[in-house]
Amino acid sequence: MGKRVSLVLGSGGARGYAHIGAIDVLTERGYEIVAVAGSSVGSLIGGLYAAGKLPEYTAWVTGLNQRDVLRLLDVSLGGPGVFRLERVLARMTQYLDGVQIEDLPIPYTAVASDLGSRREVWFTRGPLEAAIRASVAIPAMITPIMVNGRLLVDGGVLNPVPMEAVIGVDADFSMAVNLSGEKTRHFTASPVRESAAQGPPHEWLDRFRRTTAGVWENDFVASILARFNHPETSQRPYDPAPPGLGIADISWMSLEAMESLITRYRLAALPPDVLVTVSADAARMFDFHRAVELIELGRTLTEAALDEAFGDESGEDVPAEGLPHEIEA
């Protein structure tokens, strides 16, 4: 079985810890990662791996609790994003120490999205830290940055699992880790026709529970039902948003809905030889205190995917095709 693998790591917030588990399994089984590309958290984990700094990062994040995570998220009042990530970036600066992408021992690509030109930006040269920072700028959540006149946000906006970035790599097979899977909740891309007339809560509460699983705690459901049964709200032709719902929740749910659909179509057009799929409800966006659990999830899913795909046999190379715009960080 061939041991050279090109690795693509998808976007997905805290679920990105699963990427660490995936990389651990590959290295433990003797695979050689000969190229890595990533969007958002995938660019972060992939960049740290390429720079040889993933063990230090893993040791740090596995020691974080929920209070530590809250301290790390710098709130930005009145800016283009809720968080600046300055404290996290200070830690990244220590790890990366000015490393340039072109000096990494393996080819690396960080994918960001240029809001002005509405196109993907592939960082294949320049400061690794800047490339990662551009790729992780979740719209409305993490402040965007400017690089060479481009206003850059999260790579997952346009390409959540950037398979195109490893086309033509001299590898025995390609593997992608998709963090937007839908294993526990079955959605369809087809539209649904619905009446705007408000029905009683007992008719739709079960659907609400299923479609928003993992976003709110269970005790929210009871409070929602009580609120919608209140005489004042029952006279309206619609319901207000659930209590406790903030801009972070809506921004993240909107981005995930978009990324899920984009991923489905793009992977259908250019599938990897091995696909590791992490369910979208495995963790919420800022569950960065759950590193140990999510790393183990990545290990388990990667082991299963490799065993199912190959056993003891190798995959085949991915054919080369055209590439989008590349830019220096």
Task: List active site positions.
Answer: 40, 154
Strands 32-39 and 4-9: parallel
- Residue 175, judged by CB atoms within 10 A of its CB (0-12, 13-18, 19+), counts as buried
The b/e string for 1-23 (b: 16+ C-beta within 10 A; e otherwise) is eeebbbbbbbbbbbbbbbbbbbb
**Which residues contact residue 295 at a Cβ distance below 8 angstroms, ignoring those fewer than 6 apart?**
17, 18, 20, 21, 24, 58, 62
Q: Of 82, 110, 79, 39, whose CA–CA distance to 258 is shortest?
A: 39
The b/e string for 132-167 (b: 16+ C-beta within 10 A; e otherwise) is bbbbbbbbbbbbbbebeebbbbbbbbbbbbbbbbbb
Q: How far apart are the first and last CA of the chain?
A: 37
The b/e string for 104-128 (b: 16+ C-beta within 10 A; e otherwise) is bebbbbbbbbbeeeeebbbbbbbbb
Helix or strand holding residue 17 (H, E): helix 17-28
Residue appearing with tokens 């190229």: 35
Cβ proximity of 166 and 174 under 8 Å: yes
